[in-house]
Structure formats: structure tokens, C-alpha cells
């Protein structure tokens, strides 16, 4: 249930973003790694996916893999907290160690440039465009190949795990 598109997204590495703690940065430090970019929310029925995302982070981080979390409040207000509240929730409830970034819009007029690039990629059914819900996943290989997974695909899904393993640089 996956579809990959060969797209070079160098601009996602250059787009300015802030960490959850407010530091200005870009994704440049993650260039050349396998990335799983996920829009996350603390008050969603899919929030328990944080546990699986953290497990993936721990299992593969030594092989050039990183999960990148982007809180988003665009889906029924399911990420209402401040940056500090989000950080506390993620660390105390799920032990999240992967990088978390500022709350952003993943759709619409205020869509962050990173997501403008990512949402151009079609999913397994050939549908590109807006993020459908919280916990949509974009696997970006070290060479820029992207595979899009809709929110209902769990982090432990065998197809997703196999795709991650196939993209690991180490």
C-alpha cells in the first residue's frame, strides 16, 4: 500500500523552521539520512502512534534514520498546546527523543514550505495534495525519494518498516 515518487526536495532542507524550543534552524543537519516526517498531535485518536515512532527512532537511529515531528493544530484543534506543553507531553507520556519542531500548518494558505513540497507527492492510491489528518507520514530517502503513508498506517506496519530498512544509508 505504498507508492514512491523520485523527487528531489532539496528545498525542504533549506526552508527555515524553528525547533519546539524556539531555536531557528533548517533540516540541513538531516540531509543524507532516511527521514520519516510526521505531522503530530497530542489529543488525537492516533496519538498513541508516538510510541511506535519513538521505537522506530531508537531501532534505526544508529543507521542514519530520524523521525521528525511537526505538531499541527489544523485537524479539529487536536494540538492546542503551547510548545512547552507539547514538549512536556511528548517526553513524559511517550519518552519522545526524536526532533520536534514548531507547530505549523501542513495545509492551506499558511502551509509551511516543507509541507508544500511533501504534499506534491502522491500516496499509494495516486492522490497528492492536502494532508488528510494527523500522523500522515512521508519517508524521505537519503537521495530524495519520497513515499507517502496516510495516517492510518501505523509505525509498526510491515510495509513501512520494510521501506525504512530499504532506505537506510548505513
Catalytically active residues are: 44
The whole-angstrom separation of Cα 147 and Cα 144 is 10
The whole-angstrom separation of Cα 38 and Cα 66 is 11
Q: Which parts of 7-144 are beta strand (E)? A: 17-18, 24-25, 34-40, 65-71, 137-140
Which residue, chain included where needed, has cell 523527487? Answer: 7
Overall size of the chain counted in residues: 170
CA 163 → CA 24, 38, 146, distances in Å?
Answer: 31, 15, 10
The whole-angstrom separation of Cα 144 and Cα 108 is 24
Amino acid at each position: 500500500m505504498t507508492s514512491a515518487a523520485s523527487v528531489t526536495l532539496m528545498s525542504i532542507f533549506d526552508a527555515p523552521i524553528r525547533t519546539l524550543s524556539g531555536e531557528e534552524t533548517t533540516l540541513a543537519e538531516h540531509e543524507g539520512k532516511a527521514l520519516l516526517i510526521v505531522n503530530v498531535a497530542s489529543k488525537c485518536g492516533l496519538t498513541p502512534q508516538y510510541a511506535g515512532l519513538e521505537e522506530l527512532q531508537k531501532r534505526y537511529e544508529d543507521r542514519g534514520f530520524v523521525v521528525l515531528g511537526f505538531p499541527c493544530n489544523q485537524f479539529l484543534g487536536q494540538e492546542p498546546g503551547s510548545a512547552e506543553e507539547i514538549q512536556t507531553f511528548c517526553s513524559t507520556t511517550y519518552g519522545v527523543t526524536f526532533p520536534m519542531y514548531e507547530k505549523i500548518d501542513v495545509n492551506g494558505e499558511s502551509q509551511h514550505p516543507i509541507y508544500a513540497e511533501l504534499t506534491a507527492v502522491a500516496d499509494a492510491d495516486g492522490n497528492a495534495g492536502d494532508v488528510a489528518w494527523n500522523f500522515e507520514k512521508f519517508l524521505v530517502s537519503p537521495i530524495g525519494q519520497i513515499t507517502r503513508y496516510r495516517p492510518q498506517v501505523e509505525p509498526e506496519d510491515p510495509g513501512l518498516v520494510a521501506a525504512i530498512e530499504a532506505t537506510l544509508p548505513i
